[in-house]
A and B are shown apart, each in its own frame.
Chain A
Amino acid sequence: MPSTPTLTFLKESACLQAAGAWTASTAQKIEALIDHALENVTGLKTIVFDLSAIDELDTYGAWMIERISRRCAELDINLTPSSVPIHFKALLAAIHKTSSQPAQPSRHSNPLATALESIGRAFPGLASDVAAFAEMLGALTAALIRVILNPRRFRLISAVHHLDRVGWQALPIMLLISFLIGAIIAQQGIFHFRKFGADVYVVDLVGILMLREIGVLLIAIMCAGRSGSSYTAELGSMKMREEIDALRTMGLDPVEVLMLPRVLALTVALPILTFFGSLAALYGGGLVLWLYGGMSPEIFIARLQEAVSVTSFKVGMIKAPFMALVIGIVACCEGLRVKGSAESLGLQTTTSVVKSIFLVIVLDGLFAVFFASIGM
């Protein structure tokens, strides 16, 4: 245990005596002692500061001694240190040399003004988001045209690698979730349609809903969370470690080398996942109808053929690559926006997922209007 620090003021000899351990662990006590001791000294002209009884001293204690001498200088008191132990002299001198300016107070702004400011800043931010999206779309198209004109520049291995990651490795979880959603929709359908005796229409519900809307939307949202986020994190950490700058200096286009294979892989993978996901959903719906609703598989298949047209299937599949494109572009844009800190990497990854899910749903709405107007 370090000995207790003391700071006593002897009035008759005008001597300030410090003793004990002046270290970080006793700093709290010393601060109180200093405030107390300095109350007594006001009005005096000269004080002797006796440090001989200090047995332990570190930077914190040395700073305390420095604080006393600076405070005395402010009060126009002539403070003379006396009998400073020889092994503390270097430390005290080093501390004494540091600047005497007080720490800059951190700015506290009005919370209302801050809130208004952030709303104000969000609008030009929105415009720059749109610009960044368009820029990335343009850069990807330009890179794609270059690659088509000169196919040897295409990074096939990279594209296949990413196809494996976002397609093949994603398949099991996509199948499972689609299967479950199909089953849940069928179960709910049976439960409510049975009241009207309209059991057979559950097949229409499951078939049209899954093939046209939910199937592709579900897969797109899953891909945004699973693959989009990993694209953003990868590109962001590459940006942090200056890998993207290194590529540029080697005369390579990061869009062509990093982003094009990724976005292409996602664009290829998402329709495939949607196809298999829809199959799994129909299978799940059929299974629930059979086991829970008592509808035999033969009737289910026959009814499905009547209910579902090729158009429903087409509508779902046409949307898939566009959704993939949106997810890929948002992920790449956000990845490139990562700054130096770990916090910004997390922030951009979150932004990437939220934005791509939002845009996927908006896109789905636009497609619904479009298909309705062309009568599909």
Chain B
Amino acid sequence: MISADNKLGVIFFPAYDWAIDATHPEREERLLYTQDQLREEGIFDISGINEYKPEIAAQVDINRTHFCYPNVEAVTTESHLIAAGGAIKAAQLVMEKKVDKAFAIVRPPGHHAMKVVHGNRGFCNINNEAVMIEYIRETYGQCKIAIVDTDCHHGDGTQNIYWHDPNTLFISLHQDGRTIYPGTGFVSERGGPNAISKTINIPLPPQTSDSGFLYVIDEVVLPILEDFKPDLIINSAGQDNHYTDPITNMSFSAQGYARLNEKLNPDIAVLEGGYAIQGALPYVNLGIVLAMAGVDYSHVREPDYDPEKIRQSTKIDVYIENLCREIMDQYRQPIKPVGQEGDFSSRSKSVYYDTDGISDEQTEKVMICSACAGLRIIESRSSVHDRCLGIEIPINACPRCQDAGHRSLEDAKNAMRYRFIKLINRVDREYQTFNQEELSPLSKYFF
């Protein structure tokens, strides 16, 4: 019998009765062949690899992480709560030392879901990794966590959620935003004023293959991880960099994914995208499971695998070398202070929920703070819910940011300008919604 070097927990939840719609890539069939492959390989007979049932995430787990308008029920289905619950289960297993590592092979995915949620964008409603990370911090205490997003699409949702958090390092490797959804994730996106260089973007050219990805891991990801010294490493394990993926343009293989995982050595991996459900997912998932468990994966390859066919050009070699050098130079530059301590730094952005056709104009303010992640206030005006305000007092907030948060809440309530006011108060574990329509039936006429 084969025995695993690392005890691995696999949470497999394929949601065989849930789809965005019948022919959507995010449909019932997506993990069917992955399950067939894992079963046929006898994965769960390997001593040390065990399968676990997901939890169902509670409302509070979502409300701790997101501002959902008007509420969690309206923007999620049970399937979303189970996918997030699968990630939570992975965290429980690892944090309670029942396993060394865990892999949540769950759907639907989550990494395009931002702090504010009005609906579905990029197949995502709630951010599975963020819900999990905040569950970890709430349950087991504050810790430094690194998320390495290896999905082909920029993890813009996760980036948005952790933009200001100096205790969360977010690194995204993805196909260059100039060539693919969601069109972001450039080198210049480096994190908010309280968390500069805690966001790292590595936009790769189309046709990047195994050698390019592994080069980036060696030259950028591992050195920055070494510098950050996280307590936990999370892999947002999207599988759509595969050479057969129907909606992307990369040339990554199952061997490459397994090797990447081995180098990265994550504590927890959570499945994100990946839509070559027959030609890629069965082999990539198998490769990742074996790599995480420390079992020989050298015979895992796609039936049509031909390393010559997917080899990247020397032009791409050079491009990636230069890119990595640029990112590391920028990373090593001394960080200039931005703005005055205690001032608000603000930015505005438009967010489009492509699946649900919702547009949202957001203005975000964060208090510049050297003692905590800073009070965060997001005003959101979407095509479905106008006049929304979210106030977040971050975990371990300093007294000033706490006070400012409570004041902002009172001011907002008194202003009578908002339809919904949401409070995330991580210090006192309060997650509240103030629905103001009833209070002031006339207020809508003032807007």
Does B associate with A? no
